[in-house]
């Protein structure tokens, strides 16, 4: 499977249109059948808004035009596009969600950010209340959005559900880039599957960014580091970390998450 992850520059001066243009122009540069999956960061449709009112306005203006473009581009390149978006329903409720665009199909929002930071709660953004897998082309995906990243419980939940790939769309702007790298590798161990993380780059290459693909065994497949750009790579969405179930048992080779599940004692943890 071929994947492409965007790491646009973070709009330091509320440069909403410039950020949308960066993403749109790089999407336009992808040829048909060049990739199978494209991932864009959290709130990619309104990144760079000035305040709450401007965000609400942008969702239904520039942001809507951008979302429409994502669907057209998914159809043109014949690939799945996953993007973090801010949505607002007819009742005016805001949600931080993952949008999935598939060629010839209507957009779906299979995941809503469950763990919200205080500024989001103050804006009236509503958290999600479930973390289910969704399947596309035979691949079972889980999702986490930004602050969800810090809660290993959700990744252990995906491990129990036996996710194939977990997509993390993020907007982290103050975490050291190095921390984001090793935390993503840890989440690969937590889930026992491939992790694809996408975030914007800050003005300092040592802070934020770190769009990265990590294999189930913790091996880094591709890494954007801390600067704007795109990473494009091949990976096996059904790969598992396989090893001896325990020391001294070389003949019993298993997916290590499968070997851990029977020993889990959730009554101790929750």
pLDDT digits (tens, 9 = 90+) for 167-179: 999 998 899 999 9
Mean pLDDT of 54-68: 97
CA angle 208, 210, 214 (to 5 degrees): 145
What is the distance of C-alpha 121 from the center of its chain?
A: 21
Kindly report the average pLDDT of the chain as a whole number.
94
Write the pLDDT tens digit of every residue in 122-137: 999 999 999 999 999 9
The predicted structure's pLDDT at residue 252 = 61
pTM: 0.95
Is the pLDDT at 251 greater than 70, yes or no?
Answer: no
Mean pLDDT of 109-125: 96
The predicted structure's pLDDT at residue 256 = 78
The predicted structure's pLDDT at residue 250 = 66
Do β-strands 134-136 and 108-112 pair in parallel, antiparallel, or remain unpaired? Answer: unpaired
Report the candidate in 178, 110, 102, 173 with the shortest Cα–Cα distance to residue 144: 110
- Read off the pLDDT band of 242 (50, 70, 90): confident
Is the pLDDT at 91 greater than 90, yes or no?
Answer: yes
Residue 238: exposed, middle, or buried by beta-carbon count in 10 A (0-12, 13-18, 19+)? Answer: middle
End-to-end alpha-carbon separation of the chain, Å?
A: 37
Mean pLDDT of 88-110: 97
- Read off the pLDDT band of 157 (50, 70, 90): very high
Please give the domain boundaries of the chain with CATH numbers for all domains: 2-239 (3.60.110.10), 242-270 (no CATH)
Choice between 258 and 198, residue whose per-residue pLDDT is larger: 198
- Read off the pLDDT band of 263 (50, 70, 90): confident
- Read off the pLDDT band of 95 (50, 70, 90): very high
Q: What percent of the chain has pLDDT over 90?
A: 86
Do β-strands 37-40 and 80-88 pair in parallel, antiparallel, or remain unpaired? Answer: parallel
The predicted structure's pLDDT at residue 269 = 74
Say if CB 231 and CB 211 are below 8 A apart: yes
């Amino acid at each position: 499977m071929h994947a492409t992850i965007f790491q646009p520059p973070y709009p330091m001066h509320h440069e909403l249109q410039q950020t949308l243009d960066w993403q749109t122009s790089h999407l336009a540069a992808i040829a048909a059948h060049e990739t199978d999956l494209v991932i864009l960061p959290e709130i990619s449709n309104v990144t760079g808004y000035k305040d709450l009112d401007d965000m609400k306005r942008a969702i239904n203006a520039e942001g809507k035009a951008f979302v429409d473009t994502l669907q057209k581009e998914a159809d043109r390149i014949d690939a799945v596009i996953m993007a973090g978006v801010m949505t607002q329903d007819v009742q005016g409720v805001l949600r931080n969600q993952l949008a999935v665009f598939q060629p010839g199909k209507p957009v779906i929002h299979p995941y809503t950010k469950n763990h919200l930071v205080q500024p989001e709660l103050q804006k009236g953004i509503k958290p999600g209340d479930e973390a289910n897998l969704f399947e596309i082309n035979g691949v079972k995906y889980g999702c986490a959005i930004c602050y969800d990243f810090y809660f290993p419980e959700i990744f252990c939940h995906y491990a129990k559900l036996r996710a194939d790939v977990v997509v993390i769309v993020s907007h982290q702007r103050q975490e050291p880039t190095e921390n984001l790298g090793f935390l993503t590798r840890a989440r690969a161990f937590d889930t026992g599957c491939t992790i694809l993380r996408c975030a914007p780059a800050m003005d300092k290459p040592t802070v934020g960014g770190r769009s990265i693909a990590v294999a189930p065994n913790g091996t880094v497949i591709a890494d954007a580091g801390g600067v704007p750009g795109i990473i494009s790579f091949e990976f096996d969405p059904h790969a598992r970390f396989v090893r001896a179930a325990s020391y001294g048992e070389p003949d019993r080779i298993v997916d290590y998450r499968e070997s851990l599940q029977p020993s889990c004692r959730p009554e101790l943890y929750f």
